């Protein structure tokens, strides 16, 4: 089997870095028991499938394997788990605690229960030798860079149901308490990992296609959107559809339309559920859903707010941000993350590509809906998200919870300082290894940062999940006292758009 890693980042610049497709033969449906040991003489890991060993030896040096064999095996497992996913299993960044457990069990079983049972490899949680703690020098020359789209097995239907239930629950509690205390209790319970949500039969389960279309017609705005929306420039294409700018002739405002070809959607009921859920999610720091239309029965138009400044990635790669501007972006993203966490939802794909900007300096988080896959979409064969923003516990599967978003925010802050996340030039497997082995990454410009910013980063990039701050704690951090006005982002956006040759289409449309 050969895999094509063509899909990577939405930013053009990053695509350029990672364009080379990787052709690696990997085992699928491996269910045998493997007993991993380390050869005392050669230092090599033994007992893994041959192709895995080849992959490991090609990308992670023997010395590195020796320094942290557990991180090497864990990175390999996570990597192979991620790429074995089928295109019919949609990846969605949003995930709940229950699904994390399901995903961890699947990763653990990828080679069978005996993996990592080797006597030379310490189990997680055991004291590591000083050698293991030693930081690893960045790496051997990367092999072929390849695309990697993160994630684990996510039963999207269950997710949407869970999200809906979390939402119902949160709203109920808030009403009962008459304030937000209910939300807090809700959150605390979830941190402890105990299941907190009622199981309900959802009306959308096991519907026929006809029933789904009937329900869709009921949920969607009636009529032909082409009469109301004047569609123009294409902004880009994602996994589930293509995004266009359009002019709303009723409100006289520009909006974004995501055009989803339903005939290519393997599980239409998920889209249905998503519309229901997305309608409930409204926050000033989320890219909000406005409406949905059914076009000719096989296309769904999802109308969203238009963020005409493009992704934060353009700004971080092209311009140098001041600390006050970085603080302002962090504050806005934290407000969105706090909102989601308050509802028991983890975004798990926080990165500059998923933060969209308005020309006025609005900062909004996106990519929490409509991430379903298209049947036969080659680029989705790999699924599985970008590893560079992943918290160590995503790889190690230790104490995986909502704080993964806080780590990712810290990595995004590094993007705002350095222009890119750590290890971006490494292959995904190597990046996973380095994240698991090194923990907190080095920040080259560290000495130039203010004490408040350093402390903020310290709070985000704690490997120990318990020591890592929550979104609400960070919203009170002194670093955010020095936020600059959001409008100061406008010149940065304009400068980035000019360099990248973007923006003119948005500016000139119906001016
Ligand atoms: P994925 O399928 O993983 O979400 P993607 O984010 O590249 O990949 P889309 O979400 O379909 O794909 O978005 C396509 C392009 O349109 C991206 O460049 C994105 O930044 C842009 N875009 C998406 N939504 C909006 C919006 N509401 N306003 C402005 N631009 C948007
Ligand atoms: Mg997207």
Tell me: pLDDT of 372 over 90.
no
Asked whether residue 45 is domain-assigned, the answer is: no
Q: 314 and 284 in one domain? A: no
Asked whether residue 5 is domain-assigned, the answer is: yes
> Which atom belonging to ligand 1 lies closest to the Cα atom of 237?
14
Question: What is the whole-number distance in angstroms between the Cα of residue 215 and the centre of ligand 1?
Answer: 26
Question: What is the whole-number distance in angstroms between the Cα of residue 214 and the centre of ligand 1?
Answer: 28
The candidate with the shortest Cα–Cα distance to 345, out of 176, 85, 100, 103, is 100
Asked whether residue 469 is domain-assigned, the answer is: yes
**306 within ligand 1 shell (Cβ under 6 A):** yes
> Which atom belonging to ligand 1 lies closest to the Cα atom of 239?
2
Q: 283 and 161 in one domain? A: no
For position 241, what pLDDT does the model report? 81
- Evaluate the CA torsion angle 115, 120, 121, 125 in order and state its sign: positive
Q: Please name the residue whose Cα sits nearest to atom 19 of ligand 1.
A: 236
The candidate with the shortest Cα–Cα distance to 243, out of 253, 233, 230, 252, is 233
**307 within ligand 1 shell (Cβ under 6 A):** yes
Q: 224 and 283 in one domain? A: yes
- Evaluate the CA torsion angle 268, 270, 273, 277 in order and state its sign: negative
pTM > 0.85: yes or no: no
List CB-based neighbours of ion ligand 2 within 5 Å: 238, 367
d(CA 386, CA 391): 11
Q: 446 and 347 in one domain? A: yes
**305 within ligand 1 shell (Cβ under 6 A):** yes
Asked whether residue 476 is domain-assigned, the answer is: yes
Q: What is the CATH number of the domain that holds 246?
A: 3.30.200.20
Contact call for residues 204 and 171 (beta carbons, < 8 A) = no
Asked whether residue 322 is domain-assigned, the answer is: yes
Q: 216 and 183 in one domain? A: no
Question: What is the whole-number distance in angstroms between the Cα of residue 237 and the centre of ligand 1?
Answer: 7
Length of the chain equals: 511
Question: What confidence category does residue 340 fall into, taking pLDDT thresholds of 50, 70 and 90?
Answer: confident
Question: What is the whole-number distance in angstroms between the Cα of residue 238 and the centre of ligand 1?
Answer: 6
Nearest ligand to the CA atom of 14: 1
Q: 386 and 332 in one domain? A: yes
Q: 367 and 254 in one domain? A: no
Q: Please name the residue whose Cα sits nearest to atom 17 of ligand 1.
A: 236
Q: 458 and 393 in one domain? A: yes
**304 within ligand 1 shell (Cβ under 6 A):** yes
Give residue 147's domain range: 1-30+134-188
Asked whether residue 166 is domain-assigned, the answer is: yes
Asked whether residue 71 is domain-assigned, the answer is: no
Which burial class, exposed, middle or buried, applies to 373 when counting CB atoms under 10 A from its CB (0-12, 13-18, 19+)?
Answer: buried
**302 within ligand 1 shell (Cβ under 6 A):** no
Q: 357 and 245 in one domain? A: no
What's the number of domains the chain is made of?
Answer: 3
Q: 479 and 330 in one domain? A: yes
Residue ending a domain, among 249, 276, 305, is 305
> Which atom belonging to ligand 1 lies closest to the Cα atom of 10?
7
> Which atom belonging to ligand 1 lies closest to the Cα atom of 242?
11
Tell me: pLDDT of 410 over 80.
yes
Asked whether residue 334 is domain-assigned, the answer is: yes
Q: Which strands form 310-311's sheet, in the order they lie side by side?
A: 310-311, 355-357, 363-365
Q: Structure tokens of 283?
A: 């926050």
Q: Structure tokens of 310?
A: 């493009």
For the segment 135-174, what is each residue's pLDDT rounded down to a tens digit?
A: 443 433 333 333 223 333 334 444 444 444 544 443 333 2
Q: What is the CATH number of the domain that holds 489?
A: 1.10.510.10
Q: 230 and 159 in one domain? A: no
For the segment 173-226, what is each residue's pLDDT rounded down to a tens digit?
A: 322 222 322 333 333 333 233 344 333 434 445 678 888 888 888 889 988 899
Residue ending a domain, among 305, 331, 358, is 305
Residue ending a domain, among 262, 290, 305, is 305
Tell me: pLDDT of 103 over 80.
no
* Residues designated as active site: 349
Nearest ligand to the CA atom of 311: 1
Tell me: pLDDT of 6 over 50.
no
What does the radius of gyration of the chain's CA atoms come to, in whole angstroms?
A: 23
Q: 275 and 170 in one domain? A: no
**356 within ligand 1 shell (Cβ under 6 A):** yes
Question: What confidence category does residue 52 fall into, taking pLDDT thresholds of 50, 70 and 90?
Answer: confident
Mean pLDDT lowest among 133-142, 316-325, 496-505: 133-142
Nearest ligand to the CA atom of 236: 1
């Amino acid at each position: 089997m050969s895999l094509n890693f063509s899909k990577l980042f939405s930013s053009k610049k990053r695509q350029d870095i990672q364009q080379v497709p990787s052709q690696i033969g990997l085992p699928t449906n491996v269910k045998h028991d493997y007993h991993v040991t380390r050869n005392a003489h050669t230092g090599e890991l033994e007992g893994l499938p041959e192709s895995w060993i080849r992959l490991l030896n090609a990308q992670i040096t023997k010395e590195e394997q020796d320094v942290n064999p557990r991180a090497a095996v864990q990175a390999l497992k996570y990597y192979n788990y991620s790429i074995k996913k089928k295109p019919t299993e949609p990846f969605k960044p949003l995930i709940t605690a229950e699904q994390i457990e399901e995903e961890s069990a699947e990763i653990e079983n990828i080679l069978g229960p005996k993996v990592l049972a080797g006597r030379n490899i310490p189990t997680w949680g055991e004291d590591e030798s000083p050698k293991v703690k030693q930081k690893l020098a960045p790496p051997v020359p990367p092999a072929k860079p390849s695309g990697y789209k993160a994630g684990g097995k996510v039963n999207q239907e269950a997710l949407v149901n869970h999200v809906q239930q979390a939402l119902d629950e949160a709203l109920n509690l808030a009403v009962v308490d008459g304030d937000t205390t209910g939300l807090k209790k809700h959150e605390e319970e979830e941190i402890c990992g105990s299941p907190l949500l009622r199981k309900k039969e959802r009306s959308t389960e096991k519907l026929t296609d006809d029933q789904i279309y009937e329900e869709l017609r009921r949920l969607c705005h009636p009529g032909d959107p082409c009469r109301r929306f004047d569609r123009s420039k294409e902004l880009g294409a994602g996994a589930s559809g293509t995004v266009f700018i359009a002019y709303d002739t009723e409100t006289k405002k520009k909006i974004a339309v995501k055009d989803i070809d339903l005939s290519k959607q393997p599980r239409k009921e998920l889209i249905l559920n998503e519309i229901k859920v997305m309608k409930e999610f409204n926050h000033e720091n989320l890219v909000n859903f406005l409406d949905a239309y059914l076009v000719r029965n096989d296309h769904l138009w999802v109308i969203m707010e238009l963020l005409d400044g493009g992704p934060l990635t353009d700004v971080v790669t092209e311009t140098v941000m001041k600390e006050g501007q970085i603080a302002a972006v962090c504050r806005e993203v934290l407000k969105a993350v706090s909102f989601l966490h308050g509802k028991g939802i983890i975004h798990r794909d926080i990165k500059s590509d998923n933060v969209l900007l308005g020309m006025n300096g609005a900062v909004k988080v996106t990519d929490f809906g409509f991430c379903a896959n298209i049947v036969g979409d080659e680029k989705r064969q790999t699924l599985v998200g970008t590893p560079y923003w992943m918290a160590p516990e995503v790889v190690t599967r230790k104490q995986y919870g909502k704080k993964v978003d806080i780590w990712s925010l810290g990595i995004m802050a590094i993007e705002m300082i350095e222009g890119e996340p750590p290890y971006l030039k490494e292959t995904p497997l190597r990046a996973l290894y380095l994240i698991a082995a090194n923990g907190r990454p080095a920040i080259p410009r560290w000495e130039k940062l203010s004490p408040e910013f350093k402390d903020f980063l310290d709070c985000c990039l704690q490997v120990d999940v318990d020591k890592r701050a929550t979104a609400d704690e960070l919203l009170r951090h002194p670093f955010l006292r020095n936020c600059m006005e959001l409008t100061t982002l406008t010149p940065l956006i304009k400068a980035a758009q000019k360099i990248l040759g973007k923006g003119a289409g948005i500016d000139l449309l119906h001016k």
